[in-house]
Structure 1
Amino acid sequence: MEAILISPFFLLGGILFSFFLGSIPFGFLIGQAKGVDIRQLGSKNIGATNVGRILGWKWALVVLVLDFLKGFLPVFLVIWLRFSLNSTSVDLFALLCGLFAIFGHNYTPWLKGKGGKGIATSAGVLAALMPKVFFFLVIVWLSVFFLTRIVSISSICVALLFPLFSFLLYPNSPLFFFFSIAASCLALWRHRSNIKRILNGTEPKLKFSKQNK
């Protein structure tokens, strides 16, 4: 089957679509629909964890799934379409789309650049592009959370181990490894305030609101 070259316009369109999809602040929008501003309550973050603290676990799950899909869908579509000369080009395009989806979530223009921390969206990218890494990192996240009940510690551990699992499970894919380093650095940067609280012993454990508004 003859391969098809990706045009610059298709590349740009895919990247812009990924950024736009990633930038949709579902946590904020759901909070607004429920009459609260998530940015002013709890940790003031628009992610699923803070939504859970304010609105309950059911809405946290909704936000988690939606944020996950923001990373999964654009990468999955690129892989499915396979408009490329070779697999390396497909991987590069998919990684760019995934990275811009994460950027969109973390620095959403709709909230003046104040977005989430990108863990759920990054997980969506991994599930589509690096499923073996996704599987093992989910196990790590759940294990650490079971021991600590602190979401940020679980997420930080996953970010630190991401490059290692990428290297071990996809040794012939240097693009994956470089992506894992970039995504990990971005996640750690977004968690810098959490890291300070962890070191100070003031990082709170997760407690869902019982209201489920």
Structure 2
Amino acid sequence: MTMMVFILLAYLLGSIPFAVVTSWIFGLPDPRTFGSKNPGATNILRSGNKVAAILTFLGDAGKGWIAVALAQHFAPIWGLDSDAVTVVALAVFLGHLWPVFLHFKGGRGVSTAVGVMIGLNPWTGLLAVVTWIVVAAIWRISSLSALAAALIAPVYAWMFLGFEASTLVIFIMSVLIFWRHKSNITNLISGKEARFGKSGTP
């Protein structure tokens, strides 16, 4: 029963749509109505409000980190083993992808995955962010940066964590991020994917 409560709370936390909340606070259009229609930081950036985009990223990443941090603290107190932390990590990520508050139509999960990875192993998360930044600086394509970071993240996890449950969760998140970027991958192959500062599907 305790494990189910942990999972439910993590899922509900992941379901908080910070892109929509931030847009409402700043008086911006609903991110589901413009650009890629994706409720995420990159699409918020299209509105021209960099502060709102940064806050969206911090909110989405923060909920991933908070879920893991709380699970790491409370799981031993409630007699749960370390596997409970990895299940919570996956639950908060799935909450972002399929949020109950947005009729199960959420974002692509990149920011939340970063927060989860930093919670599970800071070096894995930070190296994934560095990968994103390097690829973005060279090619200036958000989706390509996200895909590159998702591709290499399980390798970073293996380097620092070995073959354990946390590594498996990071691998699952990476696979789901690729799946959520299906249309972007098609655009990348055809050369139609938008770069930073241009309209299109991020």
User: Structure 1-normalised TM-score?
Assistant: 0.86
Q: Paired residue for 1:58?
A: 51
Secondary structure of 2:47's partner? helix
CA distance in 2, matches of 1:80, 1:35: 37
Distance across 2 between alignment mates of 1:174 and 1:35: 42
Deviation at 1:30? 2.5
Alignment partners' CA distance in 1, 2:182 and 2:151: 13
Aligned partners of 2:68 and 2:120 also within 8 Å: yes
Q: How many residues align?
A: 197
CA positional deviation for 1:167: 1.5
Q: Distance in 1 between matches of 2:78 and 2:104?
A: 32
Q: What do residues 144-191 of structure 1 show as CA deviations (whole Å, max 9, x unaligned)?
A: 1110111111110111111211112222x4212211221111111111
Q: Secondary structure at the match of 2:46?
A: helix
Among 92, 103, 109, the alignment partner of 1:118 is 109
The 8 Å contact of residues 44 and 52 in structure 2, kept in 1 or not, is answered as yes
Q: Which residue of 2 aligns with 1:203?
A: 193
TM-score (normalised: structure 2)? 0.91
Q: Does 1:75 align with 2:65?
A: no
Please tell me the residue identity of whatever aligns with 1:83. I
Q: Which has the higher contact order (CA 8 A, sep 6+)?
A: 1
Provide structure 1 residue ranges, at least 5 long, that are not aligned to the other structure.
Answer: 1-8
Paired position in structure 1 for 2:37 = 44
**Is this contact kept in 2: 1:52–1:208, CA < 8 A?**
no
RMSD: 1.8
Percent identity, aligned pairs only?
30
Contact 1:105 1:121 in 2 (8 A): yes
Q: Which residue of 2 aligns with 1:32?
A: 24
**Matched AA of 2:114:** A
Give the corresponding residue for 2:176.
186
